[in-house]
Chain A
Amino acid sequence: MVSTYIGALITLGVFAVLSAIGITITKDNLYAAIYLAVTTGLVGAVYGLFGITYGFVLIYLIFVGATITMTIVLAATYRRIEFRGGVGKSWIIPMLLFIVSIIVASAFTNYEVAPVTSQSLISFVSTSDGLLLIALLASLLMAIMIGLIMYYLEVSRGWRS
């Protein structure tokens, strides 16, 4: 008898895998991006199921809210029917072997996961060290973004001339 908690986890995982398969089989880039948003939302829901509030908020705000929205807009801009190429279909066999080996290897361990409370995370963010770490990461992101903007200006100089 599967408990409600494990049943909810398995349901979320199955729907995430189904929408991930949708990314592979659909021919339109826009639908692939929308399926990607569904998959990411379900992965974020797993974080919510385990009570990891900060991870849930981060994934929904930054990943779904910013990155995947940009991807959907890009896919809508370059919307076209994709012609299949790349490797052959036989590559699915080593991938299935990898999945089976991961499941078997992790099933034989006694490593079990319990839902966490966000109490330790709240106490972490309320300290000055935690705030310093967040400020450091934000400034690191800004430094990378400045490099990106410089690259964009360098590239777009050729477009204007």
Chain B
Amino acid sequence: MEVVNAAIIYGFASIILMIGYYSALRANDLIRVLISLELMFNAIFLALVPFFAVNAVVALGILIVTILSSSTEFMTLITAIMAMDRIRKSVRVEEIKAGGEQYVESKSNT
């Protein structure tokens, strides 16, 4: 049976995770933030592969919980984005900063 060093998988997973973080930090609209979050979850799935060599059943349980929670989270975010677009007529990241009303007031005053 072929044996692979876990460093290869962890290396690729960390690269994809960091690309996801960078894309989320640079993003300016909420759809791109959502896509970046899904990319981060991809990295988590890749990092979970070596755990299957240790305890396959527990790893499968963790994988199921991760997939279900991430899917539910993304559906929640999609609903929130659609609701925000209906209310604010925009999906820009600036619209959901903490104290968003103050931001809009200051923008309308200037």
Contact = CB atoms under 8 A, between A and B. Distances in A.
| Closest 4 pairs between A and B when the two form their complex, measured CB to CB | A13-B12, A85-B28, A102-B14, A95-B18
Given A16-B16, A23-B36, A85-B27, 11 more contacts: A29-B35, A54-B60, A62-B71, A82-B27, A83-B28, A85-B26, A86-B28, A91-B25, A103-B10, A144-B72, A148-B79
8 contacts: A9-B9, A55-B48, A58-B63, A74-B78, A102-B10, A102-B11, A137-B65, A148-B72
A67 B75 CA distance: 7
A95 B23 contact: no
Interface residues of B, number: 68
Nearest to B25: A87
Contacts of B46: 16, 43, 46
Interface string B60-96: 1101110110111011101101110111000101000
A71 B37 CA distance: 11
B31 A74 contact: yes
Contacts of A86: 25-28, 93
A54 B52 CA distance: 11
Contacts of A140: 68
A1 interface: no
B57 A113 contact: no
Given A74-B78, A148-B72, A32 B32 contact: yes
A70 B34 CA distance: 11
